[in-house]
Amino acid sequence: MATDLRTWLGDQVRGRVVGPDAARRRVELFESDEPGWFEPGSPIRRVHGDASMFIGGLRALLLQSLHPLAMAGVADHSDYRHDPWGRLQRTADFIAATTFGPASVAERSVAAVRAVHESVTGVAPDGRTYAANDPHLLLWVHVAEIDSFLAAHDRYGADRLVGADRDRYVEETARVAEAFGIPDPPRTERQLGDRLRTFRPELGGTPAARRAARYLLLQPPMPIAVRPAYGVLAAGAVELLPVWTRRHLRLPWVPAVEAAAVRPAGEAITRALRWATAPRPVVPGE
């Protein structure tokens, strides 16, 4: 019975995150003899392969929305409202391809995203122009992601990074950033924090950012049966945000409730997702 539940839940999660072609894509990414960009067991694989990424990904989207130009690009060109699962699947596939896939697949994934970004240009509501391939905006998206993935892994990861592995993780993510055309990305945890602080004067809560936050947190397009689990992930993402970001997005800050309820619930849901999505050992005769 437990095996059947694990199989069903794992298939449901993979179907949502990877898409209907999950089996074929898994073979392409994980069963190739071609070397990838990163070695098995490397910090980037430990972080990006953990269930804490469900919370880290939501935190990254909320944090990224605070840059008015980045948010304008999403609002004008993204189909996150009409095809949120498709956007999630494309993002998850990019992370999987660059982290776990063969080098040739990783390179094609980067080239494909950069090609899509070529058409993502426009004028923000404040009159400034934006372009998705602008190295400065790419750097913001990168540092917001890496800070979020690391924060979620610190709180909810199964094999948390310590010592030199923390800097090594940031160094490995710089490999992907450079392939994207980001000059001089951060290579240590301290540099990551410094870069984030340099963006503070540029950030703010625009109406578009607050609409996106409400949609992500309160109006997810999913069956009612799974909304409680999603709500736990969303609460965990909000709890990990710096307090100053919540003011911009008009999100609550209730430390006592978060410590007593959100964190334990987040730990429980990430353990369940880890259990459901972990590769099952091959049993002879199955």
Domain ranges of the chain: 2-277
H/E element holding 130? strand 129-131
Q: Do the strands 129-131 and 121-123 form a parallel or antiparallel pair, or are they unpaired?
A: antiparallel
10-residue averages of pLDDT along the chain (286 residues): 52 54 69 90 96 93 96 86 62 90 94 94 96 96 97 96 97 96 96 97 95 86 76 93 94 87 93 77 44
Asked whether 71 and 65 are in contact (CB, 8 A), the reply is: yes
pTM of the model: 0.89
Q: Convert 192-222 to b/e letters by CB count within 10 Å (16 or more is b).
A: beebbeeeeeebebbebbbebbeebbeebee
The rounded distance, in Å, linking the Cα atoms of 229 and 149 is 19
Structure tokens at 175: 């490999």
Question: What single letter denotes the amino acid at residue 85?
Answer: W
| pLDDT computed for residue 88 by the predictor | 67
Q: Looking at residue 286, what is its pLDDT?
A: 43
User: Comparing C-alpha atoms, which of 49, 110, 116 is closest to residue 279?
Assistant: 49
CB 226 within 8 A of CB 193: no
The pLDDT assigned to 283 comes to 44
**How many Å apart are CA 6 and CA 24, to the nearest integer?**
20
